[in-house]
């Protein structure tokens, strides 16, 4: 028997009960239903006081850091229970971000009438340490990038440009595709990239050598990626059937995949990140953070650290 969980009612029910309990549209206008067979179940929603969330990452200490579309709150840090929340204003609109360490993040910003650049921010002191010198790299507002061993890896068109933290170019890695998002697994020392339109996940080493390519013909678009504690890649994507948004898990060797979160609802679903301390998945939906808790009844055989 198929069982679903209604997040709004906080109850599990079978398909027959759905018809009985949720048959009055005036009482239950839009309730979020999720199959209990999903590997991660929506546990809570946290609305953040911003217009929208552009990017979202976990810091090593378990705090969330986000770039937003709100003036004076271009960068914010907060915990799931809303403690330790602080706003960090920046001199420009903030877009993508990457975590360097527990105290430092890099933020892609765009000042008025200027090219996009990167601000290196000390989040404990709530100030910009330096702005990256960018006169050569043709960055766009949503160019994905990551930090690896004090180097910035920028995806620009069909290449990855590697710079030091001041923006001095070290080398370029040529690719056969245009990455829409990047991720780095410290344990395996692998870089993961997604090709949004062709729905392919690429795994490469730091020199650009291809390790594997994983295509997903059932998806219409890949949006964002993150990596779990086992080195599996979680990809936020739109499926071709009914245009539904879900999360698929691709194993660390690129041999198989499975859908782990279904029925993600809401406008402007922007990004996904993984909390290694709690084995939970976080998805940004406009101005709201959705936290998905690991479903132990489904994932009991997984060996998470």
Q: For residue range 60-97, what is the model confidence (pLDDT) as tens digits?
A: 999 999 999 899 999 999 998 766 689 999 988 999 99
Q: What is the phi/psi pair of residue 68, to 5°?
A: -130, 170
The answer to whether residue 271 scores a pLDDT higher than 80 is: yes
DSSP-derived secondary structure for 196-214? TTTTEEEEE-TT--EEEEE
CA distance 254 to 202: 9
**Among 239, 269, 265, 246, CA closest to 29:** 265
Q: What residues contact residue 16 under an 8 Å CB cut-off, 6+ apart?
A: none
Average pLDDT taken over every residue of the chain: 88
43 has which bridge partners? Answer: none
pLDDT band at 25 (very low <50, low <70, confident <90, very high): very low
Say what the pLDDT of residue 83 is: 61
Superfamily (CATH) of domain 37-299: TolB, C-terminal domain (2.120.10.30)
d(CA 230, CA 39): 14
Question: For residue 229, what pLDDT is reported?
Answer: 96
**What burial class does residue 72 get, using C-beta atoms within 10 Å of its C-beta: 0-12 exposed, 13-18 middle, 19+ buried?**
exposed
Write down the pLDDT at residue 250: 97
Report the Cα–Cα distance between both ends of the chain, in Å, rounded.
Answer: 32
- pLDDT digit string (tens) for 39-60? 999 999 999 989 999 999 999 9
Which whole number is the average pLDDT over 267-271? 85
DSSP-derived letter for residue 101 is S
Residue 20 has pLDDT above 50, yes or no: yes
Would the pLDDT of 305 be above 60? no
pTM: 0.90
- Asked if pLDDT for residue 13 goes beyond 70, the answer is no
Residue 19, pLDDT > 60, answer no
pLDDT of residue 126: 93
Average pLDDT, stretch 211-232? 95
**Which sequence spans correspond to the domains of the chain?**
1-36, 37-299
Nearest to 36 by CA among 57, 54, 11: 11
Contact indicator for 279, 40 with CB cutoff of 8 Å: no
CA distance 189 to 203: 10
Rounded distance, CA 121 to CA 129, Å?
Answer: 6
* Cα angle: 157, vertex 147, 125; to 5 degrees: 125
Whole-number pLDDT of residue 35: 84
Sign, CA torsion 273/276/35/202: positive
Contact criterion met (CB below 8 Å) for 183 and 201: no
| CA–CA gap between residue 134 and residue 167 (Å, rounded) | 6
- What's the pLDDT at 296? 85
Mean pLDDT of 286-305: 80
Whether the CB-CB separation of 289 and 48 falls below 8 Å is answered with yes
**281-285, 291-295, 301-305: least confident range:** 301-305
**Per residue in 95-149, pLDDT tens?**
999 999 999 999 999 887 788 889 999 999 999 999 886 777 888 888 999 999 9
């Amino acid at each position: 028997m198929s069982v679903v969980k209604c997040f709004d009612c906080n109850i599990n029910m079978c398909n027959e009960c759905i018809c009985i309990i949720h048959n009055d549209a005036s009482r239950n206008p839009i309730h979020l239903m999720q199959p209990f067979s999903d590997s991660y179940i929506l546990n809570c929603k946290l609305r953040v006081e911003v217009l929208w969330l552009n990017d979202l990452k976990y810091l090593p200490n378990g705090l969330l850091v986000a770039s937003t579309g709100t003036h004076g709150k271009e960068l914010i840090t907060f915990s799931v229970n809303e403690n330790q929340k602080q706003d960090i204003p920046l001199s420009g609109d903030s877009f993508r971000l990457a975590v360097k360490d527990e105290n430092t993040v890099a933020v892609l910003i765009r000042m008025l009438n200027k090219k996009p650049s990167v601000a290196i921010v000390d989040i404990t002191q709530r100030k910009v340490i330096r702005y990256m010198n960018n006169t050569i790299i043709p960055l766009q507002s949503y160019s994905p990038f990551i930090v690896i061993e004090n180097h910035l890896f920028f995806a620009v068109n069909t290449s990855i440009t590697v710079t030091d933290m001041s923006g001095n170019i070290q080398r370029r890695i040529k690719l056969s595709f245009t990455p829409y998002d990047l991720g780095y697994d410290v344990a395996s020392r692998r870089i993961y990239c997604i090709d949004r339109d062709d729905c392919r996940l690429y795994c490469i080493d730091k020199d650009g050598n291809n390790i594997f390519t994983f295509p997903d013909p059932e998806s219409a678009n890949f949006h964002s990626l993150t990596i779990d504690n086992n080195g599996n890649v979680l990809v936020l994507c739109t499926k071709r059937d009914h245009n539904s948004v879900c999360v698929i898990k691709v194993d660390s060797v690129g041999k198989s995949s499975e859908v782990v979160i279904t029925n993600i609802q809401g406008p402007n679903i922007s990004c996904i990140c993984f909390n290694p301390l709690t084995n939970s998945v976080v998805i940004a939906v406009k101005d709201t953070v959705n936290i998905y808790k690991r479903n132990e009844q489904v994932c009991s055989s997984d060996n998470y650290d």
